[in-house]
């Protein structure tokens, strides 16, 4: 049952997604492409691209993956599975948060997680540009240009996505 597998895997992903969806992109790619084979590496980037171009939270890429794996039911199940465990946790922690504001443990955990999130988000970008075992220089050219522009200007990311699409038509 692919639906059950989707629900279980994405629910686990939900609970370890510190740093939000970008931080679990490499794990999602590993799971969906390498372990389960629900999409090819190229399809994975394409679904990610569609979710980036559409308005809304970037978590919606999971409903495209679910849809590809198991149709409309898969889309709904994947989205709910990736949101629900984290939502329950937020529900429970919301009131405690204020009380532990000055707690040394809260501060330690916050500081511990920051470098992990940076490493994971960078991995997400790296993995997407490296669909096969060797990096794809055309994807890296576009990604490299995006990094440069994004660090040097404050352009809305939508312009960058449009530019990247145009560059893709030219290069790929």
Partner 1 sequence: MQVTPPQTLLELFTGFLAIGARSFGGVMPWAHRTMVEERRWITPADFAETVGLCQFLPGPNIGNASIVLGKRWFGLSGAIVAFLGLMALPFVWVMALGVLYLEWASHPVVRAVVMGVGATGAGLFMATAIKLGRALVRKPAAVALMAACFLAVGIGRFPLLIVMPVTAMIGIFCARRGWL
Residues 126 and 23 sit within 8 Å (Cβ to Cβ): no
Angle, alpha carbons 167-67-57 (nearest 5°):
60
Site string (50-89) toward partner 1, x via CB under 8 A: xxxxxxxxxxxx-xx--x----x--x---x--xx-xxx-x
Residue 20 binds partner 1 (CB under 8 A):
yes
Residue 3 binds partner 1 (CB under 8 A):
no
* Residue of 21, 18, 9 lying closest to 58 (CA atoms): 21
Provide DSSP, 134-162: S--HHHHHHHHHHHHHHHH----HHHHHH
CB of 1 to partner 1, least distance (A): 21
Distance, in Å, from the CA atom of 143 to the CA atom of 151, rounded to the nearest integer, reads 12
- Which residue of 32, 78, 81, 127 would you call a contact of partner 1, by CB under 8 A? 127
SS3 38: coil
Residue 102 binds partner 1 (CB under 8 A):
no
CB of 157 to partner 1, least distance (A): 5
CB of 5 to partner 1, least distance (A): 15
Residue 4 binds partner 1 (CB under 8 A):
no
Q: Which is nearer to partner 1, 2 or 84 (CB)?
A: 84
Residue 129 binds partner 1 (CB under 8 A):
yes
């Amino acid at each position: 049952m692919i639906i059950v597998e989707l629900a279980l895997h994405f629910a686990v992903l939900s609970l370890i997604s510190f740093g939000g969806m970008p931080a679990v992109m490499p794990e999602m790619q590993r799971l969906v492409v390498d372990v389960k084979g629900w999409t090819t590496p190229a399809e994975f980037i394409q679904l990610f691209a569609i979710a980036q171009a559409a308005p809304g939270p970037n978590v919606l890429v999971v409903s495209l993956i679910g849809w590809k794996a198991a149709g409309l039911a898969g889309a709904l199940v994947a989205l709910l599975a990736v949101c629900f465990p984290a939502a329950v946790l937020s529900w429970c922690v919301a009131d405690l948060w204020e009380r532990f504001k000055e707690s040394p443990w809260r501060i330690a955990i916050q500081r511990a997680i920051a470098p992990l999130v940076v490493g994971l988000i960078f991995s997400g970008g790296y993995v997407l540009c490296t669909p096969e075992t060797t990096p794809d220089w055309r994807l890296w050219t576009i990604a490299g240009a995006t990094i440069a522009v994004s660090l040097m200007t404050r352009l809305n990311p939508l312009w960058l996505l449009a530019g990247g699409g145009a560059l893709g038509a030219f290069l790929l």
